[in-house]
Structure 1
Amino acid sequence: MPASKPPSNILIVGGGIAGVSTAYYLSIHPLRSPQTRITLVEGTKIAAAASGYSGGFLAKDWHGSATASLSAMSFELHKSLAEEFGGKEKWGYRTVDTLSIETDATRKSKKPAPLPWLPAGLVHSSRPLGGHSTTAQVHPRLFTTFFSEKFLSQPSTSLILGTATSLSTTPSPSSSSGEPSPRSVGITTPEGEQKEVEADVVVIAAGPWTGKLAEQLLGPKVGGRLGVQGHRAHSVVLKTKEDLSATCLFTSMTLEDGSAGEPEVYARPDGTTYICGAGDDEPLPPTAAEVKPSPSAITKLHAQAQALSPVFTSAEGVEVIAEQACFLPIADRGRPLVGKVRGVEGVYVGSGLSCWGITQGPGTGKVLSELILEGKAKSADISKLAP
Structure 2
Amino acid sequence: MSASTTTQTLQERRIVIIGGGIIGCTSAYYLAHHPAFASSEIHVTLLEASTIAAGASGKAGGLVAKWAYPSELTSVSFEEHEKLAEKHNGRERWGWREVMCGEWEGRAGGEEADKEGGKGGTSIRANVRRKAKGSGLPDNLDWIDEGLTEAYEAIAGPGETAQVHPYEFTMEIIKLATQAAGHKLEVIEGAKVISIEKKVLQNGQGERVAGVTYTLRGSHAVHIPADVVLLAAGPWSPTLLPSLPIRTARSHSIVIEPATPVSPYVLFTSITNSNNIAVGQPEIYSRPFNRVYACGPGDDEPIPDLAADVKVSPAAITSLRSNVSSLSAALREGKVEVEQACYLPNGGPIVGNVDAVRGLIVATGHTVWGICNAPGTAKAVSELIMDGSLNKKWKLGKLAPKYFL
Normalised by the size of structure 1, how large is the TM-score?
0.90
Instruction: Give the structure 1 partner of residue 327 of structure 2.
Output: 308
Alpha-carbon separation, structure 1, partners of 2:255 and 2:369: 20
1:211 aligns with 2:238: yes
Matched-pair contact (CA < 8 Å) for 1:211–1:229: no
One-letter code of the match for 1:44?
S
Higher radius of gyration, 1 or 2: 2
1:42 aligns with 2:48: yes
Instruction: Give the structure 2 partner of residue 145 of structure 1.
Output: 171
Q: CA deviation at 1:125?
A: 0.8
1:329 aligns with 2:355: no
State which of 157, 160, 180 in structure 1 corresponds to 2:207.
180
Q: CA deviation at 1:72?
A: 1.4
How many residue pairs get aligned? The number is 367
State which of 251, 273, 283 in structure 1 corresponds to 2:302.
283
State which of 351, 354, 363 in structure 2 corresponds to 1:350.
363
User: Matched residue of 2:29: which SS?
Assistant: helix
User: Matched residue of 1:279: which SS?
Assistant: coil
1:111 aligns with 2:134: yes
Alpha-carbon separation, structure 2, partners of 1:283 and 1:268: 30
Instruction: Give the structure 1 partner of residue 395 of structure 2.
Output: 381
Instruction: Give the structure 2 partner of residue 17 of structure 1.
Output: 22
Alpha-carbon separation, structure 1, partners of 2:240 and 2:162: 32
Normalised by the size of structure 2, how large is the TM-score?
0.86
Matched-pair contact (CA < 8 Å) for 1:6–1:373: no
Alpha-carbon separation, structure 1, partners of 2:337 and 2:96: 20
Q: CA deviation at 1:120?
A: 3.3
One-letter code of the match for 2:188?
I
Alpha-carbon separation, structure 2, partners of 1:355 and 1:310: 29
Instruction: Give the structure 2 partner of residue 364 of structure 1.
Output: 377
One-letter code of the match for 1:99?
G
Q: CA deviation at 1:307?
A: 1.0
What is the RMSD of the two structures over their aligned residues, measured on CA atoms?
1.9
Q: CA deviation at 1:191?
A: 4.7
TM-superposition CA deviations, 1:143-202 (whole Å, max 9, x none): 0011111122213110122011122222335xx772221121111000512111111100
Instruction: Give the structure 1 partner of residue 186 of structure 2.
Output: 158
Instruction: Give the structure 2 partner of residue 169 of structure 1.
Output: 198
Matched-pair contact (CA < 8 Å) for 2:195–2:240: no
TM-superposition CA deviations, 1:352-376 (whole Å, max 9, x none): 0000000001111110010111122
Over 4 Å off, 4+ runs: 1-5, 105-109
Q: Aligned pair in 2 of structure 1 residues 4, 285: CA closer, same or farther (>3 Å)?
A: closer
Matched-pair contact (CA < 8 Å) for 2:214–2:222: yes
Q: CA deviation at 1:70?
A: 0.7
Instruction: Give the structure 2 partner of residue 70 of structure 1.
Output: 73
Q: CA deviation at 1:46?
A: 0.5
Alpha-carbon separation, structure 2, partners of 1:13 and 1:141: 18
TM-superposition CA deviations, 1:289-312 (whole Å, max 9, x none): 111121111001111111111111
Unaligned runs of 5+ in 2: 1-5, 114-118, 120-131
User: Relative CO higher for 1 or 2, CA cutoff 8 Å, sep ≥ 6?
Assistant: 2
Alpha-carbon separation, structure 2, partners of 1:271 and 1:180: 52
Unaligned runs of 5+ in 1: 216-223
TM-superposition CA deviations, 1:17-45 (whole Å, max 9, x none): 11111111112211235211001000111
Matched-pair contact (CA < 8 Å) for 2:108–2:323: no
Matched-pair contact (CA < 8 Å) for 1:179–1:344: yes
Matched-pair contact (CA < 8 Å) for 1:278–1:300: no
Alpha-carbon separation, structure 2, partners of 1:230 and 1:356: 14
Task: Point out the more displaced range, 105-114 or 81-90.
Answer: 105-114
Where do 1:74-89 residues align within 5 Å? 74-89=77-92
Instruction: Give the structure 1 partner of residue 245 of structure 2.
Output: 227
User: Matched residue of 2:146: which SS?
Assistant: coil
Percent of residue pairs bearing the same amino acid type: 38
Instruction: Give the structure 2 partner of residue 244 of structure 1.
Output: 262
